Amino acid sequence: MQAESAKGWRFASSDGRGSRARTRGHKCDRTSPVWRKQRRIVLGLAILMVSLLLAVAASLQAQPPSLVMISWDGAPDWVIDRLVEEGRLPTLGRIRKEGACAEYVVPSFPTKNRRCAG
């Protein structure tokens, strides 16, 4: 069923219950140039969205892992070793096992401790 209005619009009702698709001069079928253009636009946007998501995922995976350094001033290594062995510093013991630990460190002078200590 089709009805034509005064301005040249055609109202196509597929089910006869009043649902209408407004078209101008062509039917709403998959062979119309308007439908093809809209399909190309939607397909282009979908490809753009997928490529952006892949680029974001790749950039997140390419980031280097974080590094956290912990240093105590005024704590001899033998004291820390003893506290770890006694189980009084379990988290530090786990960090030493699973991470990395420097055996001997010489700080660079002058240090910035004076600024922090006042």
pLDDT at 52: 94
- pLDDT (tens, 9 = 90+) of the chain, 118 residues, equals 445 555 555 555 555 554 455 555 555 677 788 888 899 999 999 999 999 999 988 887 777 777 777 777 777 888 888 999 999 999 988 988 888 777 777 766 666 655 555 5
Q: What's the rounded Cα separation, in Å, for the pair 101 and 98?
A: 10
Give the domain ranges of the chain: 29-63, 65-111
Contact 23, 14 (CB under 8 A): no
Q: What's the rounded Cα separation, in Å, for the pair 61 and 58?
A: 5
Q: What's the rounded Cα separation, in Å, for the pair 101 and 71?
A: 10
Tokens of 62: 């390419």
pTM metric for this prediction: 0.35
